[in-house]
Structure 1
Amino acid sequence: MHRKKWVALLIVLVVFFAGITVEGLAGGYEELADNPGFAWEENIVYGSGSSKIVQLFVNGVISGEPNATGMPSMAELLAEQLRRVEEDELVKALVLRIDSPGGEVVATDELHTRLLRLKQLRDIPIVVSMGSTAASGGYYLATAGDSIFANPNTLTGSLGVIFSLVNYSEAAAKLGVKQFAIKSGRYKDIGSPARPLTEPERQIFQSLVNESYGKFVDVIAKGRNLSRQRVLEIADGRVYSGEQAKKLGLIDEFGDLEEATRHALSLSGEQDAMVVRYSDQLSISKLLFSLKQHWSNPDPLGIGNILQRQSSPRLLYQFIPSF
């Protein structure tokens, strides 16, 4: 298998450096999605038998945005893996390994919904294993688990919502830069970085934050079988250690990924099972697409992306200690 991958890579490099245009070979993700090469390879980690326990990984910031090469976002890839679990009748349990500070509210909520749907459709246990960090949106996903394992030092918590705005109005005034907004309504340019935020605008943003926060509190209360009042007491945005989280009822047991997987096996009712992971198969089409995106990128330094992020604030279930 490794030899095939290296051969595929060699072919890609020969094609690329021979001057064959990538534009004609890779039209976009939509075309690649139907390509047989755009698939997940199932790797057996250990175990035996016909039944399976799948380990899925949530690593890094939870985002619905494509990565720098234009390939699908982490949320899209994880959703596709969950779809595969749904369709595989041999899967008897799922272990979700989370090492994430959280991320976008919408992407996080959509993945959480997919996890709940999996439990409803397949009635299989979900065991969560938290790594070094499972904060904010990372913990939001963890609440879908039937059991949560963590390390005593795992950073968890940061239960809340943040919405950040950049404002350069004072700097612009010193430089003599002015921005004029021709708008259809009073709040059409709400959050503009070129002028101070008004109190009515602040209240509007706060109402959005409060709404998302209320959803987060409800998710924790239901997922962890805690009263809403108790959740409100502990969900003040601070981070907790695994030790503190256990005392608060936010996690169930101390243990690593292997211990969480053994617990998933016991919940599945199976005597033996293969522990499997999904890995993205290497294909020529995907490599060509990635090369195309890289070499045709009009903004190699990512400045445009930074400016776009600044001008497009979003609600975040994310632990952000500094900017």
Structure 2
Amino acid sequence: MHRKKWVALVIVLAVFLLGLLVEGIYGTYTDLVDHPGFAWEENVVSGYGNSKIVQLFVNGTISGQQNSAGVPSMTELLTEQLRRIEEDELVKALVLRIDSPGGEVVATDELHRRLLRLKQVRNLPIVVSMGSTAASGGYYLATTGDAIFANPNTLTGSLGVIFNLFNYSEAANKLGVHQYAIKSGRFKDIGSPSRPLTDPERHIFQTLVNESYNNFVDVIVKGRNLSRQRVLEIADGRVYSGEQAKRMGLIDEFGDLEEATRYALSLSGEKEAMVIRYADQLSISKLLFSMKQYWSNPDPLGLNRIWDRQSSPRLLYQFMP
């Protein structure tokens, strides 16, 4: 057992030193993205020929934030992949596989606009394939599809906006902790967790939420060709199964990723095409940076991440039970 511990320690030390070596040669991970050695390689899933159908994956929470190791955000990576699709004349269709509860309003809207640009510039058909969850911002992106496939048990819906504020004022008062804000204007410390939220402040935040909500409704109206009144009836924040969503016109067909891909091929006008996925060629370097970050993590319990989410409120198109 003693020997095993030493072997594990040597491995950890080796990974740490390799991470430092790579960082010393190439810089941070953000620098690696711009390095000539960093490139997306195309993995052929099936099919043959010169034409391509790209399967693009939206997995997890939609965010525009890099992590603490400097790894690019989901929106940065997906935007880069969409740019490559736009520039590749051999790509004839896109299959967007969504397994996400949604995420940040701005990050979601940026990806949505990028997908619409792809349709406008290249006139590429987009077929959406929903995974286990495609809710809120995940559905926001799905509205760009010419067709939406889902499983009858897919969790979707949650059409709306949420804005969470963390407040510890009562606990602070009990502990005798006080925070004094010297401010230039009445609302400069709006949403402060150290005091109760006032009615005027609540109204301001509600106005922001309403604006984002109306934008969400507009996206569904245009993307799904539904009346605004109908969308307002179903966009009350509740979640729907795939079965329910189909009855409401929120999705088109039941089917998996393969069936969605076959439909994309039919929309492309091509008889045959290679189905490809993108993968970056520096996955080993990414692993080194991630492990280096893990072993040098000053917050192993993740408390700082929890605190950061609460102390930096954001408008969210996100399903949050």
Change in CA separation of 1:36 and 1:295 when aligned onto 2, cut-off 3 Å = farther
Q: Which amino acid aligns with 1:173?
A: N
Offset of 1:65 from its aligned partner? 1.1
Change in CA separation of 1:23 and 1:252 when aligned onto 2, cut-off 3 Å = closer
Cα distance in 2 for residues equivalent to 1:16 and 1:230:
56
1:263 aligned counterpart, secondary structure: helix
Q: Which residue of 2 aligns with 1:24?
A: 24
Q: Which residue of 1 aligns with 2:9?
A: none
Q: Which residue of 1 aligns with 2:104?
A: 104
Indicate yes or no: 2:238 matched with 1:238: yes
Indicate yes or no: 2:176 matched with 1:157: no
Change in CA separation of 1:189 and 1:313 when aligned onto 2, cut-off 3 Å = same
Q: Which residue of 2 aligns with 1:129?
A: 129
1:237 aligned counterpart, secondary structure: coil
1:24 aligned counterpart, secondary structure: helix
1:199-210 → structure 2 map (5 Å cutoff)? 199-210=199-210
Superposed CA deviations along residues 71-108 of structure 1, whole A, max 9, x for unmatched, are 01111111111111011100000000001110000000
TM-score by length of 1: 0.91
Contact 1:161–1:318 (8 Å) recurs in 2? yes
Q: Which residue of 2 aligns with 1:304?
A: 304
1:167 aligned counterpart, secondary structure: coil
Superposed CA deviations along residues 25-70 of structure 1, whole A, max 9, x for unmatched, are 3422342122123221100000011000000001111111113532
Aligned length: 311
Indicate yes or no: 2:72 matched with 1:72: yes
Change in CA separation of 1:203 and 1:52 when aligned onto 2, cut-off 3 Å = same
Change in CA separation of 1:20 and 1:158 when aligned onto 2, cut-off 3 Å = closer
Change in CA separation of 1:23 and 1:277 when aligned onto 2, cut-off 3 Å = closer
Greater mean alpha carbon deviation, residues 28-37 or residues 184-193: 28-37
Q: Which residue of 2 aligns with 1:270?
A: 270
Cα distance in 2 for residues equivalent to 1:148 and 1:275:
18
Change in CA separation of 1:19 and 1:207 when aligned onto 2, cut-off 3 Å = closer
Contact 2:18–2:288 (8 Å) recurs in 1? no
2:153 aligned counterpart, secondary structure: coil
Offset of 1:232 from its aligned partner? 0.5
1:213-252 → structure 2 map (5 Å cutoff)? 213-252=213-252
Q: Which residue of 1 aligns with 2:144?
A: 144
Offset of 1:276 from its aligned partner? 0.4
Q: Which amino acid aligns with 2:88?
A: D
Greater mean alpha carbon deviation, residues 45-54 or residues 21-30: 21-30
Cα distance in 1 for residues equivalent to 2:113 and 2:241:
27
Q: Which residue of 1 aligns with 2:172?
A: 172
Change in CA separation of 1:122 and 1:13 when aligned onto 2, cut-off 3 Å = farther
Contact 2:55–2:94 (8 Å) recurs in 1? yes
Superposed CA deviations along residues 2-32 of structure 1, whole A, max 9, x for unmatched, are xxxxxxxxxx985854896565234223421
Cα distance in 2 for residues equivalent to 1:259 and 1:181:
58
Cα distance in 1 for residues equivalent to 2:310 and 2:163:
12
Change in CA separation of 1:302 and 1:19 when aligned onto 2, cut-off 3 Å = closer
Q: Which amino acid aligns with 1:230?
A: R
Q: Which residue of 1 aligns with 2:319?
A: 319
Cα distance in 2 for residues equivalent to 1:191 and 1:101:
25
Cα distance in 1 for residues equivalent to 2:124 and 2:75:
21
Quick one: percent identity of the two aligned structures? 81
Contact 2:93–2:265 (8 Å) recurs in 1? yes
Q: CA RMSD in A?
A: 2.1
Superposed CA deviations along residues 128-179 of structure 1, whole A, max 9, x for unmatched, are 0001111000000000000000111111100000000111111111111111
Greater mean alpha carbon deviation, residues 189-198 or residues 294-303: 294-303
Contact 2:19–2:289 (8 Å) recurs in 1? no
Contact 2:100–2:135 (8 Å) recurs in 1? yes
Q: Which residue of 1 aligns with 2:81?
A: 81
Cα distance in 2 for residues equivalent to 1:302 and 1:292:
16
Q: Which amino acid aligns with 2:263?
A: H
Q: Which amino acid aligns with 1:131?
A: G
1:127 aligned counterpart, secondary structure: strand
Contact 2:135–2:318 (8 Å) recurs in 1? yes
